Amino acid sequence: MRVRRTLVAGARGLGLAAVSLAGSALLFSLTLVSLALLLLGVGWLTTPLVVQWTRRFADQRRVWAQDWAGIRVPSGYRPPPARQPGLPGVVQRCQHVLSDPTTWRELLWLPVDMTAGFFTALLPALLIAFGVEGFVAPAVLWNGVRPDGFTYGFLSASDATQVALMPVLGAAALAVALFSPKLPALHFRLAAVFLTPPKAELAARVERLTETRHDAVDASAAELRRIERDLHDGAQARLVAMGMDLGTIEALIERDPAQAKELVARARTSSAQALTELRDLVRGIHPPVLAERGLDDAVRALALRMPLPVEVTGRLPGRLEAPVESAAYFSVSELLTNTAKHADAERAWVDLEYADGRLRVSVGDDGRGGVVLPPEGGAGGAGGPGRTAMELPAQGGTHSGLRGLERRLGTFDGILAVSSPAGGPTLVTLEIPCALCSPKTSSS
């Protein structure tokens, strides 16, 4: 078992060394060239792309560190900020990646990875090869083959005593490879030194997660109060009235059949209305089509109920976690509802996409635009549960409801970006990191 584990570590080390040398050297060179091209303007286009490649390269190393050595290396990437009016999107993306400390940590890690990282990855395989050579070399030398100047470590082939000691040195090298469980993890520990964010950044991350957890708890409590209020004021009141009508019918059915018949009709109407209100309430909690068919079909069903034409494009490759599907669905519902009410739009569109472990939903319209995401803590605050996603005044302006939507997405570590120049069009993009629970299956 120990021998097998050592051989696997050596094979992985060979592949990892090749990846470290070639990948890090290429990305480091591309990053330096791209940064130099910032002065010519081309770098504003290439730098975000090269940084994205570097992040994927570093993230794959984080995955291997966790899977192969049990070492967790957090990323600490800053989420993209909301779209700022007046600045091109490519400039904002470039500014964001260059202002992220993780970008510079990874840039510093690349030359270390292609030098020290290359050696530490190769070390288990080198020790195995060196140990095997310690047994092979004496056999070759004792058969009369005497290469000029051959040495094995610090042992010379010209001395018979030193030749006899070569297997001892080889056995020592194999023992180090076999009985040093931390040796394969040395490469990943070196990477963790450069890729792990400082404690201050991790503390800020924890604080952000604490805030979003409080938002989630507050939203859940408000949702429970809304359900209780709707049941009390709606279906419960109708069911109570229907029960009173049935009691009256029981008393009148023999004495005044005509009036009893009228009360039966009224009770039937009340039961139908109570059933409709219960269905609406259930749909507001978790629509049946969302539970049965998934997010993309639920959004298409939602689009059909909108008072303006809504085009839905894109297909998801599978089902997402239920909380993520619910958050994305109600976010789209709020955005479309407020577009229909306030944006003076003739049409709207929704695009669904899942790539690189992130759900991306874009909701746009051809309305008057002018939507601005307010600063955190500004008027209106976070909007709070039950608020609409956009509360549009007559001529656009700052919309605190969007901040509430952003904070609710933050529960899932999601982000929100708004592009809405005066005169339109408006495009709101939601991104939520998530994993697929199951692949899409065709329904009969």
Packing angle of the helix pair 43-69, 101-112 (nearest 10 deg): 70
d(CA 290, CA 355): 21
Work out the mean pLDDT of the chain and round it to a whole number: 78
Q: What is the pLDDT of residues 20-56, one digit of tens each?
A: 999 999 999 999 999 999 888 888 889 999 999 999 9
Residue 380 in this model has a pLDDT that exceeds 90: no
- Is the separation of the CB atoms in 386 and 376 below 8 Å? no
Strand ranges, E, within 276-336: 310-313, 318-320
Q: Is 221 helix (H, G, I), strand (E, B) or coil?
A: helix
Contacts within 8 Å (CB) and 24+ apart, 437-441: 437/318, 437/319, 437/320, 437/321, 438/318, 438/319, 439/317, 439/318, 440/294, 440/315, 440/316, 440/317, 440/318, 440/319
Residue with token string 């050592």? 6
| 162 compared with 334, residue with greater pLDDT | 334
User: 399 falls in which pLDDT band (50, 70, 90)?
Assistant: very low
Q: With the C-alpha atoms ordered 292, 295, 296, 300, is the resulting torsion angle positive or negative?
A: positive
Q: How many CB atoms lie within 10 A of CB 197?
A: 18
d(CA 211, CA 410): 9
Q: What is the dihedral of CA 100, 102, 108, 111, to 10 degrees?
A: -120
pTM reported for the whole predicted model: 0.49
d(CA 246, CA 75): 65
CA distances from residue 421 to 85, 376, 424 in whole angstroms, order as listed:
7, 21, 5
What's residue 373's pLDDT? 60
User: 396 falls in which pLDDT band (50, 70, 90)?
Assistant: very low
From 48-62, 72-86, 120-134, 305-319, the region with the lowest mean pLDDT: 72-86
pLDDT average, residue stretch 421-425: 81
Range with top average pLDDT, 239-253, 384-398, 401-415: 239-253
In our burial notation (b when 16+ CB lie closer than 10 A, e otherwise), range 304-325 reads eeeebebebeeebeebbeeebb
pLDDT average, residue stretch 55-65: 91
User: 288 falls in which pLDDT band (50, 70, 90)?
Assistant: confident
Q: Is 289 helix (H, G, I), strand (E, B) or coil?
A: helix
Q: What is the pLDDT of residues 184-215, one digit of tens each?
A: 788 999 999 888 887 755 666 666 666 666 66
- 149, β-bridge pairs: none
What's residue 118's pLDDT? 93
For residue 204, how far is the Cα from the chain centroid? 18
Residue with token string 């007046």? 86
| 395 compared with 345, residue with greater pLDDT | 345
Range with top average pLDDT, 3-12, 99-108, 314-323: 99-108
d(CA 294, CA 161): 75
User: 241 falls in which pLDDT band (50, 70, 90)?
Assistant: confident
Q: With the C-alpha atoms ordered 92, 29, 32, 118, is the resulting torsion angle positive or negative?
A: positive
Percentage of residues in the chain with pLDDT exceeding 90? 16
- Is the separation of the CB atoms in 21 and 114 below 8 Å? yes
Q: Residue 181: phi, psi to the nearest 5?
A: -65, -25
What's residue 213's pLDDT? 64
d(CA 284, CA 310): 20
What's residue 30's pLDDT? 94
Range with top average pLDDT, 59-63, 108-112, 174-178, 285-289: 108-112
What's residue 334's pLDDT? 84
Residue 384 in this model has a pLDDT that exceeds 60: no
What's residue 233's pLDDT? 67
* DSSP code per residue over 85-125: TTS-HHHHHHHHHHH-HHHHHHHHHHHHIIIIIHHHHHHHH
Percentage of residues in the chain with pLDDT exceeding 70? 76
From 105-114, 303-312, 332-341, 415-424, the region with the lowest mean pLDDT: 415-424
Residue 374 in this model has a pLDDT that exceeds 60: no
User: 388 falls in which pLDDT band (50, 70, 90)?
Assistant: very low
Residue 222 in this model has a pLDDT that exceeds 70: no
From 67-76, 286-295, 332-341, the region with the lowest mean pLDDT: 286-295
What's residue 385's pLDDT? 32
pLDDT average, residue stretch 257-269: 82
d(CA 227, CA 282): 9
What's residue 310's pLDDT? 92
